């Protein structure tokens, strides 16, 4: 039964014959805040005695009665309970012999007795009772503490019993002092294996190099010698057959004199880990064989396109990684199929042109060149989508007015959609400017619109809306964004929708809901990668049968500057006038192409395959008008090389070429003064315009 130990709940049991004295006593105690219960004989005292009682006041008359029931009641009290009794006696000046005689009549379980001789005043009685109740209160505190300890021990026992690992304490002889069932599965006879040769035969301990250890090097034996054993892998052979791999940790236990008195051990089941390691080893072996076979096949088929050893190692690593990813591995065949189609178009067109040239048949050359150029363009578009997915494409982020950009796409989008799809614009006037690459944003919106069209085979409505929104840290953080102000672009369709079970997968690489052969699964991944690279985030909301809304959140530009520049009209290929240009490119084919093109344009060309050779040529050249460099070079990269060149030749313009460069992903952060960039693959016309633009800037600065 619960005990009320608060001052307001003090319980005093008064055992005295009925009468005026008992009533006066009860009134006195009640006036001092005590809860009083009354009893007229020893049996009634015994019946009312319980753990709520703070003290018992009893008279000589009651003590003279039959104490059998009272003795039984006191004996049945909990161990912590020792109720104090205040005996009011009319016998004055009792000798020690009288008190000893009195105690022989009292129950043995009554250990706290205070004798109060009459006459006495109320103050004496209340003071004595206060001492007794405070003594009882300390018992209540001890009881509560004992209960807390018991509860804690029960929780600890429950925790230990249900741990998924084996734990134990052992003495100096290796005997189990305390353990849980999981430990007993491995050590059923409660003695560590190193202390019994027969049991040790069932255990194989391995060091960090995988070499077997003798039994005196087992974890328990080492801990009893005072060593800390953080982890020791062991193979255990149970009596019923099979094997189990475990990882055992052990630490010594010390007494107050820092002498070892035992050890604590933990046994963890690592069967799954060992099986995974074994599977991984087999997988790596098979993978190495597959890589060698495929590499040899590529070398045989593309002998003229064999790259240097560094490129080959990277290709093997990419192949190894793709084979390890199940999701990617399921669709690499589709990508290879697309690329093979493109390569077939390029190689086949080149072979036909070679045959026609040998036969001096020139009529169809233009058609074959167009076919090769078209296949190369498709390949370039696919690589751009892959770069967008990997967030490694080169972005030219700037403040872009979102509403005008969306409106400028309306004609193109309307032509892309079918006649049964209605295009609507819902543009907020305060949408403002976003920091983004305009070209990539146009591609993303076109991609989303095509997906929306395909989701509405029976027709519907496509709505593109814009607005300015505030996102707090919790809201944006769920989608990988940060708190701030964003310009949101919503692309909403009324199509078939996406099942809830697939929503989390829509941005995964190569995932598509379209029928086989009608999608690569890179479209939404490209959009996701581009927006993430632009420091934004993407959300998707879809319901089956109702439609889908994909929202791009792009960071608001710090300075809203309208970009009303009129696009420059296409100009004929710019020609040079003998200007000196140094080209640094590690790819032999690209370097040859650049040399021929620049010479045809009228420039004086100097070639270097890496940064070291370029620096040697710089010291030999009296004058240099332009540096053209690939970003990714062996040794010094293009950006480092450009800084050295500009230090030696102040004001020298630099034109970078990049197909993939992680630290060149955002142009505004990568480019320095006098530096521009062109992305591979590029047309020769674009290259000529870029060179002319770079030289024109220097000429204007000199003027």
* C-alpha–C-alpha distance, residues 653 and 674, integer Å: 5
* C-alpha–C-alpha distance, residues 462 and 456, integer Å: 9
* C-alpha–C-alpha distance, residues 597 and 589, integer Å: 12
Domain boundary among 220, 238, 273: 273
In a domain? residue 109: yes
pLDDT on residue 703: 47
Domain boundary among 555, 572, 592: 555
User: Taking Cα atoms as reference points, which of 222, 242, 243 lies closest to residue 232?
Assistant: 222
State in Å, rounded, how far the first CA of the chain is from the last one: 102
Same domain for 490 and 524?
Answer: yes
Contact 637, 630 (CB under 8 A): no
CATH number of the CATH domain containing 540: 3.30.565.10
pLDDT tens across 413-441, in order?
Answer: 887 777 788 888 888 888 889 888 887 88
In a domain? residue 348: no
Same domain for 608 and 523?
Answer: no
Same domain for 405 and 502?
Answer: yes
Sign of the dihedral defined by the CA atoms of residues 396, 399, 402, 404, in that order: negative
Same domain for 137 and 262?
Answer: no
* Secondary structure (3-state) at 471: strand
Global pTM?
A: 0.36
Burial string for 128-141 (b: 16+ CB within 10 Å, else e) reads bbeebbebbeebbe
In a domain? residue 197: yes
In a domain? residue 689: yes
pLDDT on residue 557: 83
pLDDT tens across 505-530, in order?
Answer: 777 765 566 554 445 555 677 788 77
Is 13 exposed, middle or buried, given 0-12, 13-18 or 19+ CB atoms closer than 10 A?
A: buried
CATH number of the CATH domain containing 200: 3.30.450.20
Contact 167, 181 (CB under 8 A): no
User: Taking Cα atoms as reference points, which of 622, 657, 621, 619 lies closest to residue 639?
Assistant: 657
Same domain for 551 and 416?
Answer: yes
In a domain? residue 494: yes
User: Taking Cα atoms as reference points, which of 273, 251, 267, 271 lies closest to residue 181?
Assistant: 267
Same domain for 220 and 254?
Answer: yes
Residue 282 forms beta bridges with which residues? none
Element holding 342 (H helix, E strand) = helix 332-358
Same domain for 408 and 501?
Answer: yes
Same domain for 441 and 508?
Answer: yes
Q: From the first residue on, what is the mean pLDDT of each consecutive set of 10 residues in the chain (703 residues)?
A: 46 90 89 90 90 88 86 87 87 59 72 85 90 88 87 80 85 90 87 86 84 89 92 88 89 92 91 85 87 86 76 64 50 55 66 74 71 66 54 65 86 79 88 83 84 85 90 82 88 87 71 54 70 84 88 80 42 68 87 85 90 90 89 85 89 83 51 81 81 77 53
* C-alpha–C-alpha distance, residues 109 and 454, integer Å: 91
CATH number of the CATH domain containing 87: 3.40.50.2300
Same domain for 620 and 663?
Answer: yes
**Side-chain-facing half-sphere of 150: CA atoms under 13 Å:** 6
Same domain for 488 and 604?
Answer: no
Token couple for 538: 């993407």
Same domain for 469 and 538?
Answer: yes
Which pairs count as long-range contacts for 338-342, CB under 8 Å and 24+ apart, including other chains? 338/378, 338/382, 338/520, 339/379, 339/382, 341/375, 342/375, 342/376, 342/378, 342/379, 342/382
pLDDT on residue 523: 63
In a domain? residue 465: yes
In a domain? residue 306: no
Q: What's the domain range around 447? A: 396-555
Same domain for 589 and 668?
Answer: yes
Domain boundary among 221, 252, 273: 273
**Side-chain-facing half-sphere of 647: CA atoms under 13 Å:** 7
Number of domains in the chain: 4
Specify the residue for token string 């300890």.
149
In a domain? residue 5: no
Token couple for 174: 């290796």
Contact 391, 454 (CB under 8 A): no
Is 88 exposed, middle or buried, given 0-12, 13-18 or 19+ CB atoms closer than 10 A?
A: buried
């Amino acid at each position: 039964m619960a005990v009320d130990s608060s001052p307001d709940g003090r319980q005093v049991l008064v055992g005295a014959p009925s009468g005026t004295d008992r009533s006066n006593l009860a009134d006195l105690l009640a006036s001092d805040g005590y809860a009083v219960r009354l009893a007229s004989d020893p049996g009634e005292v015994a019946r009312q005695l319980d753990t709520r009682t703070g003290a018992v006041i009893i008279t000589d008359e009651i003590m003279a009665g039959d104490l059998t029931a009272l003795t039984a009641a006191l004996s049945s009290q909990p161990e912590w309970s020792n109720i104090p009794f205040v005996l009011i006696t009319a016998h004055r000046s009792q000798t020690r012999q009288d008190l000893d005689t009195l105690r022989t009549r009292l129950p043995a379980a009554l250990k706290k007795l205070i004798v109060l001789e009459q006459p006495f005043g109320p103050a004496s009685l209340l003071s004595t009772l206060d001492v007794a109740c405070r003594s009882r209160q300390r018992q209540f505190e001890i009881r509560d503490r004992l209960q807390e300890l018991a509860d804690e021990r029960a929780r600890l026992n429950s925790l230990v019993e249900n741990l998924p690992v084996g734990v134990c304490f052992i003495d100096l002889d290796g005997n189990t002092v305390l353990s849980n069932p999981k430990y007993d599965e491995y050590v059923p006879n409660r003695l560590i294996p190193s202390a019994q040769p027969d049991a040790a035969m069932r255990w194989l301990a391995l060091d960090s190099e995988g070499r077997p250890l003798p039994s005196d090097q087992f974890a328990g034996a080492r801990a009893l010698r005072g060593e800390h054993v953080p982890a020791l892998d062991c193979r255990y052979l149970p009596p019923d057959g099979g094997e189990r791999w475990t990882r055992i940790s052990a630490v010594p236990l010390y007494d107050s004199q820092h002498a070892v008195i035992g050890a604590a051990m933990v046994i963890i089941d690592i069967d799954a880990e060992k099986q995974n390691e074994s599977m991984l080893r087999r997988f790596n072996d098979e993978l190495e064989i597959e890589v060698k076979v495929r590499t040899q096949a590529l070398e045989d088929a593309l002998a003229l396109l064999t790259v240097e050893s560094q490129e080959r190692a990277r290709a093997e690593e990419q192949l190894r990684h793709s084979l390890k990813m199940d999701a990617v591995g399921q669709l690499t065949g589709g990508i290879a199929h697309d690329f093979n189609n493109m390569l077939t178009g390029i190689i086949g067109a080149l072979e036909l042109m070679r045959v026609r040239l040998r036969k001096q048949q020139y009529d169809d050359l233009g058609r074959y060149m167009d076919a090769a150029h078209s296949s190369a363009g498709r390949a370039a578009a696919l690589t751009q989508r892959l770069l967008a997915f990997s967030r490694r494409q080169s972005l030219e982020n700037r403040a872009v007015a979102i509403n005008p950009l969306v409106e400028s796409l309306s004609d193109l989008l309307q032509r892309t959609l079918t006649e049964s799809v209605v295009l609507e614009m819902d543009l907020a006037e305060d949408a403002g400017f976003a920091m983004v690459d305009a070209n990539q944003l146009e591609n993303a919106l076109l991609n989303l619109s095509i997906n929306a069209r395909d989701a509405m085979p029976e027709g519907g409505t496509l709505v593109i809306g814009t607005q300015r929104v505030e996102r707090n840290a919790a809201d944006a953080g769920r989608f990988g964004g940060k708190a701030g102000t964003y310009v949101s672009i919503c692309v909403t369709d009324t199509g078939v929708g996406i099942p809830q079970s697939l929503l989390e997968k829509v941005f995964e690489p190569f995932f598509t809901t379209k029928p086989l052969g009608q999608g690569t699964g890179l479209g939404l991944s490209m959009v996701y990668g581009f927006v993430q690279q632009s420091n934004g985030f993407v959300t998707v909301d879809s319901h089956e049968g109702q439609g889908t809304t994909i929202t791009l959140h792009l960071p608001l530009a710090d300075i809203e500057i309208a970009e009303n520049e009129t696009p420059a009209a296409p100009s004929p290929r710019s020609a040079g006038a003998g200007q000196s240009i140094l080209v640094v490119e590690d790819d032999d084919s690209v370097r040859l192409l650049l040399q021929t093109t620049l010479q045809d344009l009228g420039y004086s060309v100097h070639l270097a395959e890496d940064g070291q050779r370029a620096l040697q040529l710089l010291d030999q050249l009296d004058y240099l008008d332009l540096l053209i460099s690939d970003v990714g070079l062996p040794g010094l990269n293009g950006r480092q090389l450009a800084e050295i060149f500009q230090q030696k030749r102040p004001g020298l313009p630099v034109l970078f070429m990049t197909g993939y460069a992680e630290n060149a992903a955002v142009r505004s952060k990568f480019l320095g003064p006098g530096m521009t960039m062109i992305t591979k693959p590029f047309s020769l016309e674009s290259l000529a315009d870029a060179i002319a633009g770079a030289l024109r800037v220097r000429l204007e600065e000199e003027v």
